[in-house]
Structure 1
Amino acid sequence: MTKIERPDDVPGAFQAAWNAHDMAALGALFDAEATFVNRFGHYVRGIPGIVALHEPIHKTIYRDSTLENELIDVAHIAEGAAIIHFWSRLAAGAAHPAGPHMVDTLILAVLTQQDGAWRIRALENVTLANPRTGEAILRG
């Protein structure tokens, strides 16, 4: 199981699991009761649901994708609880029906510390988009 020693380590650990297309490693980042909302508003609860949401896309349209994550901030809200925000740039490859392209998202995650390790308790991913047209945009 992946041990996250500090909240700051989550974006890198998420990126590494995604880029390896290792769904067991991705699932290991989450608390057993975690919730996940993807960039399309699909909500799942629990590690099996989170893994099941990601396995099919990593075998098909995102099999050649990569993420590049960048921590924005960490807010410790109580002993053993923190909120983090990080940017995530998805580079979809040729396997995607739309072909190679990039999508930027902003991720908010609530973390809890258990037995000396941090785990994601809730994560929500939002696509950056033009509010007038709905067209996805890339940041800076």
Structure 2
Amino acid sequence: MPASHDTAAVTAVLEALVAAWNEHDADAYGRLFTEDATYATYVGTLYQGRRDITESHRVLFTGFLKDTRLADEVVGIRFPGPDTAVVSGRGDTYKGRRPRRLGKVQTYTLVREADGTWRIAAFHNTRRKPLMEAVSFRFAPGLVPAADRA
């Protein structure tokens, strides 16, 4: 069972990620990832390594995602080992008012590095498709996740 300070440390990394995004600070954003991290976007692009993640966000913050903010919501954190955390969540980018429903499902894998710092080793981002989800649930109710059946 993880110590509560591990949960707090992992949550702090995600809070720092949101803050770096909201400041459009690609360097601060990139420092939250391991040197060999992988980053899969919702459009299917796979970035490999901190440098690739940092530089791609430098471009995004001055282009497609200029002036956006990041919303992130942790759904759950589990620790498969003492130095590994898997975070399930929802997130989205926005301008103006924060969306009520976050349109992406995200998975972060964090590791505690030798210096004791938690960093993101892998990130995967998938866009939710509520209409397709509703249709599949209608025709195959067994597909509804257990958490949503309660």
TM over 0.5: yes
- 1:77-115 CA distance string (max 9 Å, x none): 01201100121121047xxxxxx9966211101110011
Give the whole-Å Cα distance in 1 for the aligned partners of 2:125 and 2:63: 20
Partner of residue 126, structure 2: 126
Structure number with the bigger relative contact order (C-alpha 8 A, sep ≥ 6) is 1
Partner of residue 111, structure 1: 110
Identity %: 25
Greater CA deviation, 46-55 or 16-25? 46-55
Once the two structures are TM-superposed, the CA of residue 52 in structure 1 deviates from its matched residue by: 2.1
Query: Where is the helix percentage greater, Structure 1 or Structure 2?
Result: 2
Counterpart among 31, 45, 48 of residue 45 in structure 1: 48
Q: Please report the TM-score for the alignment, with normalisation by the length of structure 1.
A: 0.79
Greater CA deviation, 39-48 or 101-110? 101-110
Partner of residue 135, structure 1: none
Counterpart among 35, 40, 62 of residue 38 in structure 2: 35
Matched, 1:88 2:91: yes
Partner of residue 25, structure 2: 22
CA contact (8 A) 2:71 2:98 kept: no
Unaligned ranges ≥5, structure 2: 1-7, 134-150
Q: Please report the TM-score for the alignment, with normalisation by the length of structure 2.
A: 0.74
Once the two structures are TM-superposed, the CA of residue 45 in structure 1 deviates from its matched residue by: 0.6
Aligned amino acid, residue 10 of structure 1 = V
Give the whole-Å Cα distance in 1 for the aligned partners of 2:95 and 2:42: 14
Give the whole-Å Cα distance in 1 for the aligned partners of 2:14 and 2:26: 15
CA contact (8 A) 1:11 1:86 kept: no
Unaligned ranges ≥5, structure 1: 94-99, 133-140
Structure 1 runs of 4+ with >3 Å offset: 100-103
